[in-house]
Amino acid sequence: MRYYDVTITQQGSSTPFRQWTSYPNGINGAFNPGALNINFDMPIFSAGNEGGGVTISIEGISIQDLNQAQRFAGMQLVIKGGMGKGLPLVNPSQAGVLFAGEIQKSWGNWEGTEQTLDFVVLPGAAYTTADPGNFVLNWQAGQPLSEALQQTLSIAYPGMPVNMNISDSLVNAYNCPHFCSTFDQLGAFIQEFAHHNFDNPVLMTHQGGSINVFDGTYQPSPIQLAFTDFIGQPTWIDQAQLQIKTVLRADIALGGQVMMPQGLQNAPGIVTQSSQAMPGALKYKSTFEGIFGVIAVRHIGEFRSSDAANWCTVINCIAPADFIPTDAAAP
């Protein structure tokens, strides 16, 4: 069954201020068929690539929350999603944190019998040029960029995990201090500097409640995709770039790798055919095989929609040999 968990907490508190979920007793508990409808669109961008915030809408909200919707602005929001127990082909281990950030805008709407609460959420803390964060890069001569970035990000986002996956060879020959106001500005500076000086762009992104920093040398273990994960077949969308649509999942990150299923599939619900039974056998085989690098991720959800494409994760990929992490567009 479709799983979501939206938790809102006040700044400096770990106690949920509001929580809406389709599994009240956890993902391994019982599904709640009366859970509120939720809609979201979450493109995962790298810093400096004009990502902006994500939008989340919850329907059937209480009148108390509707009348005081503006009070949620400035609070922290974490949304988890995926598929919970209840159907034979789902994999609850793929569910997890889709997005975490600060609510920048919050408003309620009442039209006819429809009551909705809407949020615009920025990843991490909602730093802006008017309300800047403490982004001071003190990059000394001979110091690896990874050490300087780790120090900068740990100060700007205390308590937030930072996954640093860049080469230790990114060392500058001179001091390079830099100050900026937002995560996007820091990401744009680092990406451009590394590209022009090391021919190895460095990307930073907020995903799954942590900060991921990676470059073209990052080679993570590929995640094996199952044929039953697909919604339709993978397809080309651009030169040397393909798009995969899967059931909503949280375990695939920007900069990661995925492995396509191999050969003809034999799983529940699939009619076994020989490879000579053409063309019917083609629909039981992925049109692509091998390993591909993830350059863009987008989560789309409408809880009560009957269309599988409205509870999915869209992934843009390229062959690892072509992987140069630049400003790839979101799917």
Q: Tens digit of pLDDT for each residue in 258-312?
A: 998 876 555 545 555 555 554 454 556 667 788 998 988 999 999 999 999 999 9
Per-residue pLDDT tens for 216-252? Answer: 888 889 999 988 888 988 888 888 889 999 999 999 9
Do residues 227 and 188 both lie within one domain? no
Do residues 235 and 191 both lie within one domain? no
pLDDT band at 123 (very low <50, low <70, confident <90, very high): confident
Q: Is 277 inside any structural domain?
A: yes
**Quick check: 125 pLDDT over 90?**
no
Mean pLDDT over 138-156 rounds to: 94
| Measured distance between the N- and C-terminal CA atoms of the chain, rounded to whole angstroms | 25
DSSP bridge pairs for 144: 171
Mean pLDDT over 45-52 rounds to: 71
pLDDT given at position 277: 52
Do residues 144 and 233 both lie within one domain? no
Please name the residues in contact with 267: beta carbons below 8 A apart, sequence gap of 6 or more.
89, 226, 227, 228
Do residues 148 and 42 both lie within one domain? no
30, 206, 242, 198: which is closest to 133 by C-alpha? 206
Do residues 84 and 156 both lie within one domain? no
Question: CA 202, CA 208: separation in Å to the nearest integer?
Answer: 19
Do residues 114 and 11 both lie within one domain? yes
Q: Is 328 inside any structural domain?
A: no
Count structural domains, the chain: 3
Q: Find the CATH number of the domain harbouring 150.
A: 3.55.50.30
Output the pTM of the full model. 0.84
The domain of 269 spans 223-322
Task: Look at residues 196, 214, 232 and tell me which one is the last residue of a structural domain.
Answer: 214
pLDDT given at position 36: 96
Q: Is 330 inside any structural domain?
A: no
Do residues 114 and 182 both lie within one domain? no
Q: Is 77 inside any structural domain?
A: yes
**Quick check: 16 pLDDT over 50?**
yes
Q: Is 242 inside any structural domain?
A: yes
Q: Is 103 inside any structural domain?
A: yes
